[in-house]
Amino acid sequence: MSKSSLYPDSRFADPAEGGAKRSPQLHIGNWLGVLPFFVFSGLFLIAPTLILAYRSFEGLNGGQTLDNYRLLTSPAVINSYGMSIRISLTTAILGGLFGFLIAWAVSLGGLPRPFRTTSTTFSGVASNFAGVPLAAAFVFTLGRVGVVTALFEVFGVNLYKSGFSLYSFTGLTLVYLFFQIPLMVLVMLPALDGLKRDWLEAAENLGATPGQYWRHVALPVLMPSILGTMILLFGNSFGAHATAYALTGGLFPLATLLIGQQISGDVLHNPGLGYAVAMGMVIIMAFSILIYSILQRRSERWLG
Amino acid sequence: MTISTGPPITAKTPAAEAPPKGNRLWAWLIFLMGALYFMLPLAATFYWSLRAEKGRFGFEAYRRLFADANFMPAFSESIVNAIAAIFLSLLIIVPTAYWVRLRMPRLRPVVEFITLLPFVIPAVVLVFGIIRLYSRPPLLLTATYDSSRVLLVCVYAALSFPYMFRSVDNGLRAIDVRALTEAAQSLGANWITILREVIFPNLRVATLSGALLTFAIVLGELTIALYMAQKTLGPYMANLTRSKVYEPSAMAIVAFAITWVAMGMIAYISRERKQP
C-alpha cells in the first residue's frame, strides 16, 4: 500500500494512453487487462452453471415448472442425497480426526525430521490420487479377491460373508479417507506450525499441565481451522464423482452418480430432475466453501 | 472435482525442544497406523501387478499395458490435453494476476472468488452444463471429436484456475512488480513486451508448481472426459478396470508414480526456493 503512494499511478501508465490517470480511456484500458479472464470464466464456468439452473425449471415437455424440484423429495433422490451426506459427514469427521493426529505426530510429536517431509510429499500425492487408479487399488486390496481379503481368509474370517463389502457405505468411506486424510494433513501442518512457542511457555509458567494447555490455549486457537477444514473435506467428498463411478460403475446411490444417471442414462432419463439435483449440489457446495473461507479467515487472526 | 493441494512450503519452526517421552510414543503409534492404512492398498496393488504370469513374479502386466493398442494413444492424447490446458491457463491467469496486483487491487476478491468456482461446481455438474450450452447453435462445439476436444481443454484450463492463480499470485508477491514494470516502461517496452520479457520469465519457477498440479489432476481426469466421449486416459482406465484382470494394477502403479513425480518436483522446487 505504501508503495502505491510512493509511485503515483500515472508513472506506470501506458505511454500510448498518454499517462492521464483519471481519463476514461485509461479506465477502459484497465478493464481490458482483466477482460479475457472474465470472458473465459463466463464461458466455461459461470454460463454452463446458469444454463443448468435455468433448465432445472423446465418440464419434460418444455414450459416453466417446479416439478423437478418437487421430485427432489422422491425416495430415490432422498436416498442418494442421504448417502452422499452420510459418507461426506463420516469421511469429514474421521478424515479430520486422523488427519489432525497425523499432522500433530509429524510436526509436534517429536518424530525425526525426514518423517515430516516424506509425509508432506506423500499427502500431496495421496490427496491427488483420486479417481480410477484409487478405486482399482482398493479393489486389489479389499475387493472379493483382494490381498487383505485373502489375508483375513487365512485367519478364518470371510469378510464378504460377515457383511463387509467394498461397494457399500463402509467400503466407500474407507476409499474416500485415502484422499480425505492427506488433505487434512496438508492444511493442518501450517496451522500447527503457527502455534507460538511463547504460548506454551506462558501456559507452563502459569502452572498449566499439557492437557490444560491444549484444552484452553491450543485447541481454541486451532478450532476455526480444524472445523473449516472439516467442512472443506465435506465438500470434497460430496462433489466426488470419479472414484465412486470407477468403483461401482455408477450404480450406487450417490448424488453425483444420480446426476449422471438422470441426464445421460438409458433407464432413468429425466434431465430436468438431474439439473435440479445438480443445483442442490451447487448450493450445498457453495455453503461449505463459504463457511470454510470465513473460518479460515478467522483462524488467520492467530495463526497467520 | 476433488479438491487438491500441492505439498505446502515446509515449516520454519522445527520443534525447539524434545517433547515429552509419552508424546513421542503416541506420535509413533499414530504414524505407524497411518502408514499401514496408506501403504496396504499400494503394496497390494503392486503385488497384483507382478502376478500376471502364472507361477512367477514379473512385469508382464506392465508389458501388456504398454503393448495395448489403445493405451498409448489415450496416454499421449491426455498429455497433449494437459499441456495445452496448462498453457491456456497461464496465458489467462498471469496477465490477470499481474494486472490485479498492479492496477486493480480492489478487484482481487472478485477474481479470487471466480478462481474458486471449480471447487463449488462439481465436475459432474459442470460437464452437463457445458454439454447443454455447447451442443446447439449458436455455440455448437460438440459436433465433432476435435471441437469437443478443444472444449475439453478449455474446461480443464478453467479447472486449473484455483491452483494457477494461487501459485502465480504467490510468485508475483515475491518480485517487485511495480519496479520491474517501471524499469521496462522507461526503456520503452509496451504491455505485451513487459509480460513476455519481464513478468513471465520471473514467474517461471512459481508457475511450475501450479502447472505440475494441473498436470497431475488433468492427466487421469475421468468425469468430464467420460461424458464428453473423449478417448483420454481417464475413460480408458475406467474401461480397463472392467475388462482386464492384471493390467489395472499396473496402470494404478504407473498413475501413482506419475503423481508422485509431479508432487516430488513441487516439493523440490519449493524447498530450493526457500534457500537463498
- Using DSSP, state whether B56 is helix, strand or coil: coil
In chain B, where the domains are located: 68-274
Rounded Cα–Cα distance for residues B28 and A123 (Å): 17
For residue B260, list chain A residues with Cβ-Cβ distance below 8 A. 121, 125
Integer Cα distance of A190 and B237 in angstroms:
35
C-alpha cell at A281: 449440489
- Give the span between the Cα atoms of B2 and A24, in whole angstroms: 43
pLDDT over 90, % of chain B: 74
What's the average model confidence in pLDDT over A178-185? 96
Distance between CA atoms of residues A136 and B222, nearest Å = 14
pLDDT of residue A183: 95
Number of separate helices (H) and strands (E) present in chain B: 15, 0
Rounded CA-CA distance B180/B195 in Å is: 10
3-state DSSP call for residue A64? strand
Domain B68-274 belongs to what architecture?
A: Orthogonal Bundle (1.10)
Supply φ then ψ for residue A64, to 5 degrees: -80, 140
Residues of B in contact with A178 (CB under 8 A): 37-38, 41
pLDDT digits (tens, 9 = 90+) for B171-205: 999 899 999 999 999 999 988 899 999 999 999 88
Predicted TM-score (pTM) of this structure: 0.88
User: Which three-class secondary structure state does DSSP give residue B55?
Assistant: coil
Cα-based distances in Å from B119 to A90, A227, A254, A268: 20, 18, 18, 28
pLDDT attached to residue B25: 92
Mean pLDDT of A36-64: 92
What is the rounded distance in angstroms from the CA atom of residue B57 to the CA atom of residue B66? 18
pLDDT at A266: 65
| pLDDT score of A26 more than 60 | no
pLDDT tens, position by position, A94-151: 999 999 999 999 999 889 989 999 999 999 999 988 899 999 999 999 999 999 999 9
Least confident range from A33-42, A217-226, B87-96, B137-146: namely: B137-146
A184, A215 contact by CB (below 8 A): no
Peptide bond before residue B235 is cis, with ω within 30 degrees of 0 = no
End-to-end CA distance of chain A: 19
Asked if B48 and A119 count as a contact pair (C-beta separation under 8 A), the reply is no
Other beta carbons within 10 angstroms of residue A162's beta carbon come to 8
B265 and chain A in contact, CB less than 8 A: no
Q: Is the pLDDT of residue B274 over 70?
A: no
Q: Is B19 on the interface with A (CB under 8 A)?
A: yes
Residue A217 C-alpha from the chain's centroid = 28
DSSP three-state, residue A131: coil
Long-range contacts of A141-147 (CB under 8 A, 24+ apart): A141/B40, A141/B41, A141/B44, A141/B45, A142/A166, A142/A171, A142/A174, A146/B44, A147/B40, A147/B43, A147/B44, A147/B47, A147/B48
* A136/B249 CB distance under 8 A: yes
Average pLDDT, integer, range B38-52: 95
Grid cell for residue B1: 472435482
User: Which residue type occupies A115?
Assistant: F
Maximum alpha-carbon separation in chain B: 74
A-B CB pairs within 8 A amount to 317
Residues B249, A136 contacting (CB under 8 angstroms)? yes
CA of B60: how far to CAs of A137, B19, B76, in Å? Answer: 18, 49, 22
Contacts of A234 in chain B (CB under 8 A): none
B94-146 pLDDT, tens per residue? 999 999 999 888 899 999 999 999 999 999 999 999 999 999 888 888 889 99
Distance CA A286, CA B155 (A): 20
Facing residue for A281 by CB, picked from B116, B122, B267: B122
Buried b (16+ CB within 10 A) or exposed e, A80-95: bbebbeebbebbbebb
Residue among A34, A128, A137 whose CB faces B107 most closely? A34
Q: Residue A278 and residue B124: Cβ atoms within 8 Å?
A: yes
Q: Taking the domains of chain A in order of start, what are their residue ranges? A: 16-55, 75-303
* Among A110, A120, A133, beta carbon nearest to B8: A120
Do A45 and B31 make contact, defined as CB atoms within 8 angstroms? no
CA–CA dist B73, A224 (Å, integer): 47
CB contact under 8 A, A48 and B100: no
**Nearest-angstrom CA–CA distance, A277 and A279:** 5
Best mutation target, B102, B128, B187, to test chain A (most A CBs within 10 A): B128
Q: What's the pLDDT score for residue B97?
A: 95
Amino acid identity, residue B62?
Y
Out of A101, A183, A190, name the one closest to residue B3 (CB).
A183
In this structure, what are the phi and psi dihedrals at residue A58, rounded to the nearest 5 degrees? -110, 135
What per-residue confidence (pLDDT) applies to B276? 47
pLDDT at A22 over 80: no
Q: Are B216 and A127 in contact (CB under 8 A)?
A: no
CATH architecture observed for domain A75-303:
Orthogonal Bundle (1.10)
> Using CA atoms, how far apart are residues B248 and B254, in angstroms rounded to an integer?
10
Residue A137's alpha-carbon distances to A36, A182, A269, B148, B211, in angstroms, are 41, 17, 32, 31, 26
pLDDT of residue A12: 43
pLDDT classification of A268: cutoffs 50, 70, 90: low
Residue-wise pLDDT for A221-246, tens only, equals 999 999 999 999 999 999 999 999 99
Q: Mean pLDDT in chain B?
A: 90
